[in-house]
Amino acid sequence: MTIVTARHSTGASAATATSRSTGLSSPLTAGIGEVVTGIRLGADLPSEVITEIRALLLDRKVLFFRGQDHLDLDGQVGFGRLLGELTTAHPTVSGVQESSHVLPIDSEAGRADSWHTDVTFVVRPPAFSVLRAVTLPPTGGDTAWANTASAYQGLPAQLRALADGLRVVHTNQYDYARPVAQQGDREQAHYQEFVSEVFETEHPVVRVHPETGERALLLGGFARSFPGLKQREFNALFQLFQDRITAPENQVRWSWQPGDVAVWDNRATQHYAVNDYGRADRQLQRVTIAGDVPVGPDGVRSRALVGDVAAYIPGS
């Protein structure tokens, strides 16, 4: 049972390989994103298939599975468990009623239309996320991902050396979901829940990936300061590095269809939910797999400044 990569097979050989395989994958760009077909996600996938999915995920950063209409909430949770230890839904936001592991992504409560890596304000950000489409707008509502490892590799040597030595503080007192006067009660309530407990964590700006050894930039919308530097210096340097991450050549953009599931490596990506669908309803459900404590090129680990993750990551 194998996943055959389309870019390595052509013509008749590809058709033959597919007939003997569990699935077929094909890249969306040269640097990030892969579509996988022929695999039915769930808690009963064989271990060898999970091993191949994980290897492909580490290589391509985000995988897209079409046609998973059979998958319900329990199946999504069961599949997530095959990738590793699950977190609860979120450090501060409640999960869906049926499961403490599933976070509802609901456009009426807020729209994550800013580049970010999930939950970087805790000392152990998630390793992987599994996102399942539930209700989609008739048009728009895409999600874009950016490869933070290729962004680091593309930096000039002088900027890589600068980034290697920087530390950054992340916090959930963030900007992109901050309510404004015209927002409704649900947005206000969501924000208050999001900041009901404050978290702050100091991370290396460059983390060494624990499985691939790649170096990746650890920034995004929860980053707030570089210790020892003035705020205006943070703003300038942050934007310099962030612009490198979100350069078009580092991105892949996914147009959701019913039955779609996306799985990404949270340690080497940022993502952005495109807010271009007006007042239409958009709902997805997310399961996250616990990650490790980031380590910088100098071997120094991240450290929690404010907040306790014990309730978010059982056993931590």
- Contact assessment for residue 142 and residue 311, using Cβ atoms and an 8 Å cutoff: no
- Contact assessment for residue 261 and residue 37, using Cβ atoms and an 8 Å cutoff: no
The DSSP 8-state label assigned to residue 282 in this structure reads -
Distance of CA 110 to the CA centre of its chain: 17
The DSSP result for 175-229, as a single string, is STT---TT--HHHHHHHHHHTSS--EEEEESEEE-TTT--EEE--STTEEE-TTS
Q: In angstroms, rounded to a whole number, what is the distance separating the alpha carbons of residues 78 and 183?
A: 36
- Side chain identity, residue 268: A
> What would the two tokens of residue 77 be?
């949770």
Active site residues: 116, 118, 271, 286
- Contact assessment for residue 110 and residue 216, using Cβ atoms and an 8 Å cutoff: no
- Which candidate, 85, 86, 22, places its Cα nearest to that of 56? 22
Q: In angstroms, rounded to a whole number, what is the distance separating the alpha carbons of residues 272 and 105?
A: 13
- Contact assessment for residue 68 and residue 285, using Cβ atoms and an 8 Å cutoff: no
Q: In angstroms, rounded to a whole number, what is the distance separating the alpha carbons of residues 193 and 147?
A: 30
Q: What is the 3-state secondary structure (H, E, C) of 149-190?
A: HHHHHCCCHHHHHHHHCCEEEEECCCCCCCCCCCCCHHHHHH
Q: Is the dihedral angle over the CA atoms 4, 66, 33, 169 positive or is it negative?
A: negative
